[in-house]
Amino acid sequence: MHGNIEVRGLKMFLDVLLFVYDDYLDIIPPKTRKILAVILLTIGALCIISYSIIYDDFLGIIALLIGILLVVVGLVTFFHNSMSGETIITNEDSNEVVEQNTNNSALPWLISSVTTLAFILVASVIFLWLRSVADEILIGGPPPTLTGWEQSYQELTGFDEVSGLDGSGVVVCVVDSGIEMSHPDLKHLTLAGWFDVINGQNEPYDDEGHGTAMAGIIVAKNGLSGNAQGVDLLVAKAIDSNGEGTDTGIAEAVDWCADNQADIISLSLGGEGGISIGGITTDQLENAVQDALEQGIFVVAAAGNDGGQDDDGDVSSPGSVEDVICVGGATRLGNVWSGSSEGDNDGRLWPPMLPRSDPDMKPEVLGPGAEVPILFAGGSGDGSWWGWASGTSAATAWVSGGLAIILEAHPELQREGASGGQNAIEFIKTKLSDNSQMDDGQSEHDDRFGYGIFRIDMILDSLSNSTSEEVTENSVVKLQHSDINCCSNQAERRKTPIVPPASSTKAAEWFELTD
């Protein structure tokens, strides 16, 4: 019943619209009408096609309806001559020209057909939308280029060889600029905790965008796929809308993470460190990080983005702290990203630093750092929810997610696990140094390539094949064998890069830490 009312209403609207438009077409030359019809049909078709690209439900339906209307008008324009209700008849006997109105106009048939088609299309759109809401199916989404790049990095780091693990039971704390919970890829997410150092707001938000991008690498779902979607996620906002934070503020955020039972703290940020001798430092953030490490919390931090001619000679703080897992950037080809900072592992007189030794030489590993698919906060202001960024920030988040997978497979290594603590951190760092994908011809740590590219499959395989008890320093680590699917294929995983997508990001990949 309702359907008939909607069809009759739409038909009445089109009757009036087409009657007025039909009179207007009479004054347009036939050839011009054909050209106009082609233009209208083309634009209408593009609007209808765009519905499958636009994620926003409202905008997508508007585009679809506009497209249908343009197609209708285009058809009326194209078939205008055949819809005329008047014919010209010449009387052969008297040379008299007579106008005869026929009742065979094509206009009513066209209106009925198009309105029926329009109703079916609108009903189909509503059905698909309701189904997408019910089943959490993403209509539209990131361009195939981005999902292809994501798959390339999953293959490069071995995530494609791991199943049955998603980080469940592991608490990850991301200290950054916040998180945009309304993002299509984060609507499934319920935060385990939120802390705003900058403005003290109670509800999560992200006024800079970097935090949403980093969190998405770990927990995104539907469009892009985070590598540890099942983690319990804590988010601490310690970076302001300008992409800057203070040592005091970030140290406070790190302490909050530790107080809220974080197993992993992900720090996609860095800056100059303090003067450190024998583990004692003048830097407030480094002190907070050291306190977290002593509680058995894994801390993952970015190496820095000043590689090349501008490299200052060492990774940034707090990635420079001994037991922190410092992450550099790699490309999809398996090469070190050009902007990835190198480590100084030989020691120096000033600022004083002793030579570093295995497994704590910097950086420890490389993660995806060049054209990494990420989430945009707030649609980036232009309606785009997805793009890419380059930098060791993304590499840090990627490795943090991978570490969560490891701790899920071996919960005894978590901070509250039977073998948790600083020795567990040193044990995992030893596994990283022995089971990362080294560069061609590499046999030991490299100041830029580290111990190699992070390979989750190789590390899990190594842990599964370990003896039931492995001694690390003065602690015995008992390994639990989980039901996981991974393989020990150590062949290099490299992909040919693809043309960049149309949209990208100018996300702040580095934060200036000031007192």
CATH number, domain at 451?
A: 3.40.50.200
Domains: count for the chain: 2
> Do residue 403 and residue 483 come from a single domain?
yes
Decide if pLDDT at 489 tops 50. no
Out of 276, 341, 393, 400, pick the active-site residue. Answer: 393
CA angle 374, 252, 417 (to 5 degrees): 75
User: What integer is the mean pLDDT of 436-452?
Assistant: 93
Q: What is the DSSP letter of 219?
A: H
- Distance between CA 416 and CA 419 in Å, rounded? 8
- What local confidence, expressed as pLDDT, does residue 502 receive? 34
Q: At what angle do helices 57-78 and 30-50 cross, to 10 degrees?
A: 160
Comparison of pLDDT for 166 and 464, the residue scoring more: 166
- Contact 418/408 with Cβ under 8 angstroms? no
> Do residue 112 and residue 222 come from a single domain?
no
Residues in the chain: 515
| Average pLDDT value for the chain | 78
- What local confidence, expressed as pLDDT, does residue 290 receive? 94
> Do residue 165 and residue 210 come from a single domain?
yes
- Distance between CA 124 and CA 77 in Å, rounded? 26
Decide if pLDDT at 5 tops 80. no
- Distance between CA 316 and CA 231 in Å, rounded? 27
Out of 80, 166, 176, 263, pick the active-site residue. Answer: 176
Of 15-19, 76-80, 100-104, 218-222, the range with the highest mean pLDDT is 218-222
> What is the percentage of the chain residues whose pLDDT exceeds 70?
68
DSSP per-residue codes, 460-480 = HHHHHTS-SEEEETTEEEEPP
Least confident range of 1-5, 123-127, 196-200, 280-284:
1-5
- Contact 286/234 with Cβ under 8 angstroms? no
| 334 is a domain residue | yes
| DSSP element (H, E) containing 208 | none
**SS3 of 224, please?**
coil
Out of 210, 225, 341, 410, pick the active-site residue. Answer: 210
**SS3 of 325, please?**
strand
Sequence-separated (6 or more) residues with CB below 8 Å from residue 513: 245, 246, 247, 250, 269, 270, 271, 272, 285, 317
- Distance between CA 429 and CA 472 in Å, rounded? 11
- Distance between CA 354 and CA 337 in Å, rounded? 27
> Do residue 113 and residue 183 come from a single domain?
no
- What local confidence, expressed as pLDDT, does residue 21 receive? 62
**SS3 of 170, please?**
coil
- What local confidence, expressed as pLDDT, does residue 306 receive? 87
User: What integer is the mean pLDDT of 486-512?
Assistant: 34
- Distance between CA 476 and CA 57 in Å, rounded? 55
| 383 is a domain residue | yes
User: What integer is the mean pLDDT of 299-328?
Assistant: 90
Local confidence band at 515 (pLDDT 50, 70, 90 cut-offs): very low
- Distance between CA 341 and CA 448 in Å, rounded? 7
- What local confidence, expressed as pLDDT, does residue 110 receive? 54
- What local confidence, expressed as pLDDT, does residue 471 receive? 37
User: What integer is the mean pLDDT of 457-482?
Assistant: 60
Q: Is 393 a catalytic residue?
A: yes
- Distance between CA 139 and CA 129 in Å, rounded? 8
Local confidence band at 205 (pLDDT 50, 70, 90 cut-offs): very high
- What local confidence, expressed as pLDDT, does residue 108 receive? 53
- What local confidence, expressed as pLDDT, does residue 292 receive? 97
> Do residue 131 and residue 148 come from a single domain?
no
Query: pLDDT tens digit string along 63-118?
Result: 777 877 777 777 777 766 654 444 444 455 545 544 444 444 445 555 555 555 55
Comparison of pLDDT for 492 and 99, the residue scoring more: 99
CA angle 378, 382, 384 (to 5 degrees): 65
| DSSP element (H, E) containing 96 | strand 96-101
Least confident range of 136-140, 160-164, 299-303, 313-317:
136-140
Comparison of pLDDT for 1 and 263, the residue scoring more: 263
- Contact 424/296 with Cβ under 8 angstroms? yes
> Do residue 263 and residue 408 come from a single domain?
yes
- Contact 265/299 with Cβ under 8 angstroms? yes
- What local confidence, expressed as pLDDT, does residue 485 receive? 40
> Do residue 21 and residue 43 come from a single domain?
yes
Least confident range of 231-245, 268-282, 296-310, 339-353:
268-282
| 284 is a domain residue | yes
| 97 is a domain residue | no
- What local confidence, expressed as pLDDT, does residue 28 receive? 72
- Distance between CA 197 and CA 179 in Å, rounded? 13
- What local confidence, expressed as pLDDT, does residue 259 receive? 97
| pTM exceeds 0.75, yes or no | no
Q: Is 207 a catalytic residue?
A: no
Count other C-beta atoms under 10 Å from residue 277's C-beta.
Answer: 11
- What local confidence, expressed as pLDDT, does residue 34 receive? 75
User: What integer is the mean pLDDT of 343-365?
Assistant: 86
Pairing of strands 276-277, 513-514: unpaired
Q: 373 is written with which tokens?
A: 């698919």
Q: 319 is written with which tokens?
A: 């990635």
* Residue-range definition of the domain harbouring residue 323: 144-514
- What local confidence, expressed as pLDDT, does residue 73 receive? 75
> Do residue 148 and residue 48 come from a single domain?
no
- What local confidence, expressed as pLDDT, does residue 127 receive? 58
Q: 131 is written with which tokens?
A: 């189904």
Sequence-separated (6 or more) residues with CB below 8 Å from residue 174: 211, 214, 215, 218, 233, 234, 235, 236, 266, 268, 397, 400
Q: Is 176 a catalytic residue?
A: yes
> Do residue 66 and residue 191 come from a single domain?
no
| 100 is a domain residue | no
- CA–CA distance from 200 to each of 205, 360, 445, 514 (Å)? 11, 36, 43, 20
Residues forming a β-bridge with 130: none
| 473 is a domain residue | yes
* Closest to 311 in 3D by CA, of 334, 285, 286, 344: 344
> Do residue 127 and residue 230 come from a single domain?
no
> Do residue 379 and residue 487 come from a single domain?
yes
Q: Residue 84 burial (CB < 10 Å; 0-12/13-18/19+)? A: middle
Q: What is the DSSP letter of 481?
A: -
User: What integer is the mean pLDDT of 424-428?
Assistant: 95
| 311 is a domain residue | yes
Q: 415 is written with which tokens?
A: 């901070």
> Do residue 130 and residue 156 come from a single domain?
no
Residues forming a β-bridge with 446: 450
| 94 is a domain residue | no
Query: pLDDT tens digit string along 131-181?
Result: 555 444 455 678 889 999 999 999 999 999 999 999 999 999 999 999 999
Decide if pLDDT at 49 tops 50. yes
